[in-house]
Structure 1
């Protein structure tokens, strides 16, 4: 799929350049122009090896401190977020490591029972997929997909790679295994069609700025900072959406924003958005993809 761009540099060949200005104007359901969704990451990590976000500098393995900190999300944080979503009337796109079903199946079941969307998120966040040979990567995608399909009664439509890790052929493999959309690419505020070797797959915007890991772990933003970012992003994008449809994703990890002092600030930000629910489409990434697939050819550029 790689090729050279017009500037003579290596290029991915998945999409061509299109400025946000001058694109066709179209609507989300109900005539809305701003679609808002929550991407909640539920992740499982290997003990004593592999990757993982860190609260403090990792010590020798087994790194009990950081492993236990991350596991707080599955034992406590995600359940607090579930209560928050119930209270405010949010659906969620729940990004699930396949190995989670063997560890805490009741957690995934609690979100399933709410009617939330289950999105593929690899097998574990202790490893990247983009470093694998093609056959091994295809097998990993198939393994995670099969486990979700077995547990949920249907295969997921969307995929987010652990650590946003892709190889040169990841979109090709996802399309070949029946995926309709991918969340790895953050280059736009509208969905974008990606070319694959067997057709096309939709890129639904997933945020790396409005994401608690880069914000809180990477930039060391406070809980109040992150909540303010959500409010400011929403207010600004709601104004910008008068010109055309936009997608605002909010990327959350249960072991971060499920901490009580962060949860309090997150509640403030999500309540701010919920108060404007009549002006926006509160939805899921899968519903966004479904709407885009139903649009006339050429609507999305």
Structure 2
């Protein structure tokens, strides 16, 4: 089954059916906090400090510590920013985090955040020796900790092989955040039934803005505001969905958290906005497709 032509036929946004958000809102916004475990004994998934003389060294203490700061300090700023504003939040979490960082996972659970699978350890699906086992371990770890298995999945680095979607659907996952190709959910075919691709983001994602493009702290607010304002304008004709993806080690730091808060305040100041979790967005879209088909 080819990824594009067979799994998800092309559909232009202007040809999508007219949908209705709750309260006739224009935009559905979902916020994703990504909690990951980086193992010190291996190469870091991402770095901020280049190795001395260009020679990678293990253990990579400074870059591991850069991420670890997020789990020790940055996460708590993001938690406060979201809970104080009453924003329903999707918690994309490595399965191992439930055991390695129980304080973080417990805080997300107590806040009522929706757990989403994010791989077992942080690393591309292409490097996983046994994907079926890794997916199963992730789902089991989250189910044991949160009390129910995750319905959603975001692969580390948004990576998939040809079999990833089939394995995820086989394990009960019904929506993914890997496909950043639309402003509305879209159905993807798998060997075990349909899967929804939710509108996710690489543009209003702090990894791209700060770690890859190395933009100044204010760029997250500027870009996020511009993204929201245009989607809000277009949503007068047909609703749009916007994702905001954040990581504790990037926008949980003191010089960036204020811009995340300002973006959330800008969005919440508008009428006609509904804040959703991933599962709520998936249920809304399926409900609308059923309504229109009836």
Kept after mapping to 2: 8 A contact 1:180/1:201: yes
Q: What residue is the counterpart of 1:57 in the other structure?
A: 50
TM-align CA RMSD: 1.6
> TM-score of the superposition, structure 2-length normalised?
0.94
Q: What residue is the counterpart of 1:218 in the other structure?
A: 212
Q: What residue is the counterpart of 2:125 in the other structure?
A: 129
1-structure distance, mates of 2:27, 2:69: 33
Task: Report matched runs for 1:92-241 at 5 Å.
Answer: 92-125=89-122, 127-132=123-128, 136-241=130-235
Q: What residue is the counterpart of 1:7 in the other structure?
A: none
2-structure distance, mates of 1:282, 1:51: 33
Kept after mapping to 1: 8 A contact 2:35/2:248: yes
Offset at residue 77 of structure 1 (A) = 0.5
Aligned residues: 289
From 239, 245, 248, the equivalent of 2:239 is 245
Q: Aligned in 2, Cα 1:268/1:296: closer, same or farther, shift over 3 Å?
A: closer
> TM-score of the superposition, structure 1-length normalised?
0.92
Deviations 1:242-273 (A, max 9, x none): 12121100010110000101012221111111
2-structure distance, mates of 1:12, 1:137: 24
2-structure distance, mates of 1:282, 1:28: 11
Offset at residue 83 of structure 1 (A) = 0.8
Q: What residue is the counterpart of 2:14 in the other structure?
A: 21
Q: Secondary structure at the match of 1:223?
A: coil
- Extract unaligned runs of 5+ from structure 2: none
Q: Secondary structure at the match of 1:202?
A: strand
Offset at residue 89 of structure 1 (A) = 2.0
Q: Secondary structure at the match of 2:149?
A: coil
